[in-house]
Structure 1
Amino acid sequence: MLAPAPARTRPTGSATRRGAGRRLTAYLGVLPFLAFVTVFLLWPTYIVVTGAFQDDLGRFTLSNIQAVVSGPAYLDSFLVSIGLSLVTAVLGAVFGALLAWAVAEGRPDGLLRRCVVAASGVLAQFGGVMLAFAFLATFGFNGFVTLLLADTLGIDPLSGGGWIYGFAGLAVVYTYFQIPLMLIVFLPALEGLKPQWREASDSLGGSGWAYWRHVGGPILAPGFAGAALLLFANAFSAYATAAALISQGSPLVPLQIRSALTSEVVLGQANVGKALALGMVIVVAVVMTLYALLQRRTSKWLR
């Protein structure tokens, strides 16, 4: 004879209150993060968006947007910033992926691997004034390498006007911190490649090229593209390195925003700077949306 199934008991009021209390405690743990995001991301974004459509008296206007769209200097700065971000993103993605592949092929618990990953974590954040000073002290007009080449070989690498102070110099300096950032972002995707996939390809008679073309490449492609987009956003929003390296002119959007906010020659350009910042927000938002979509596609291979 089958025993009757035990009747389901509804949770008592005290149990319900305890469950609600635990959920409330869990939500309270997120409050510091939400406060940080609100103060340093949402509120500045709100100020930029509203200020871009206001004049000096707080009235609605489209003149700031029109000034950015119709101003050749502003449009050129966007083109230069996008071009610089593309170049450094491609260089950083390619060399960083090769470095990440070399690290992934090593021993998982090896000393060299730990040192490279730790150094990449530090160098990825080594930007701003310190990085600019390091390159100027090495390749500037009075830099160590410049003086060494001039004294020993009679070569002046800055005779053409100083490459370190132009687009090429910015590309080299930006790539310096893009490569370690690519290693940190792309290494988990390489570690997600299972050895069984390579063994299955070999057992079916596939060559190394066939494995990377039909298995490894398609799996890593979304992660590689997403990491490259992250490098683009990182270079596009960088300010301190370019500000310390370039003393004259404002070829990049962040430097144009600085000029609009601090210029003593042309007054009343603060809201034009906010319009420029709004353009940067839109570009970064589009790039990060694409990055999030690619990460969703990549995450299923990392489970």
Structure 2
Amino acid sequence: MGLLPFLVFVAIFLVVPTVTVVIGAFQAEQGGFSLEKVRALGGDTALRALQESLVLSFASAAIGAVLGALLAYLVVSAPPTSALRRGITAICGVLAQFGGVTLAFAWMATLGFGGLLTNLFADLFGFDDSGSAWLYDLPGLILVYTYFQIPLMLIVFLPALEGLRPQWREAAVNLGATTRQYWLQIAFPLLRPAFLGSALLLFANAFAAYATAAALISQGSPITPLLIRAALTSEIVLGQANFAYALALEMVVVVAVVMGLYAWLLKRTSRWLT
């Protein structure tokens, strides 16, 4: 009985939408079973959007994983009761959830057309005061996504760094190991599954993100989530709802594979964390 509210929540917001997507992807516009929309995933538009989504997810996850891991190491080096450590952890907890329209507007007001830094660079270096369109393309999306990927990496990777026991380093030093040998032969092999698992989580987070990209890019569909929006809301090409379902099913499959690998790596990490 205690789990009933949670099960109802999962059924309404996870099971029902997933089943709807699966049924719609294999359904013709007039009803009945059809593979037409699934085959359309091999078209140039869908493949290009998938490629851009994968590049965006991989790039933002890689940058966020490396910088977030370095930040986590600096945080874990501080005493557990220090105000700096608690403050950075709390700030990252907020920034990891900072996205959507608010984040897009913040970057447009900073680096967009007529933005604060755009005008400052124009005054100092003679750049075009109207700015450029790079923020509203793939490079801009990578930069904006990295903003919330770094704090998310700190949150998910910090427990693994905290799990490194001081006794292991002391034992290595007593056996004659240098600091470099300790990190290369003991710490890095132990942290590798946790690091890769956290990077996969960042990949899935970026791949499924929609609101920030939708607010930043009002025209065009460079990534799969925006192509789904175009298929559902386009006033030019009608009757594309089932194609949107097929695109959503494609995203579900990619995220399911990534999260399966994440769960496997998390299981390997838990062997020594416990």
Normalised TM-score (structure 1): 0.89
Q: Distance in 2 between matches of 1:156 and 1:179?
A: 30
**1:153 Cα shift?**
2.7
Tell me the equivalent position of 1:111: 83
Alignment size in residue pairs: 274
Tell me the equivalent position of 1:264: 235
In structure 1, give the amino acid aligned to 2:229: R
Contact residue 200 and residue 259 of structure 2 kept, 8 A: yes
Q: Distance in 1 between matches of 2:139 and 2:230?
A: 22
**1:31 Cα shift?**
1.1
Contact residue 114 and residue 130 of structure 2 kept, 8 A: no
The aligned runs of 1:9-158 (5 Å cut-off) are 28-69=1-42, 71-156=43-128
Where does structure 1 lack aligned partners over 5 or more consecutive residues?
A: 1-27
Tell me the equivalent position of 2:172: 201
**1:178 Cα shift?**
0.0
The DSSP-based 3-state class of the residue aligned with 1:268 is: coil
How much identity, in percent, do the aligned residues show? 60
Establish whether residue 234 from structure 1 lines up as the match of residue 205 from structure 2: yes
The DSSP-based 3-state class of the residue aligned with 1:248 is: coil
The list of structure 1 runs, each at least 4 consecutive aligned residues, that deviate by more than 6 angstroms after superposition, is none
Establish whether residue 210 from structure 1 lines up as the match of residue 210 from structure 2: no
**1:148 Cα shift?**
1.3
Distance 1:157 1:298, change over 3 A: farther
Deviation string 1:183-240 (CA, Å, 9 cap, x unpaired) is 0000000000000000000000001111111110111000000000000000000001
Deviation string 1:97-144 (CA, Å, 9 cap, x unpaired) is 000000000010110111100000000000011000000000011100
**1:152 Cα shift?**
3.1
In structure 2, give the amino acid aligned to 1:189: A
Q: Distance in 2 between matches of 1:89 and 1:290?
A: 15
Q: Distance in 2 between matches of 1:286 and 1:208?
A: 37
* 1:253 corresponds to which of 210, 224, 235: 224
Q: Distance in 1 between matches of 2:7 and 2:168?
A: 41
Give the structure with higher Rg (CA). 1
Where does structure 2 lack aligned partners over 5 or more consecutive residues?
A: none
**1:68 Cα shift?**
1.5
**1:58 Cα shift?**
2.3
Q: Distance in 2 between matches of 1:157 and 1:177?
A: 28
Distance 1:286 1:174, change over 3 A: same
Q: Distance in 2 between matches of 1:284 and 1:276?
A: 12
Q: Distance in 2 between matches of 1:152 and 1:193?
A: 47
- Could you say what the CA RMSD is over the residues aligned between the two structures, in angstroms? 1.0
Tell me the equivalent position of 2:265: 294
The DSSP-based 3-state class of the residue aligned with 1:133 is: helix
Distance 1:157 1:187, change over 3 A: farther
Q: Distance in 1 between matches of 2:216 and 2:56?
A: 15
Q: Distance in 2 between matches of 1:231 and 1:156?
A: 35
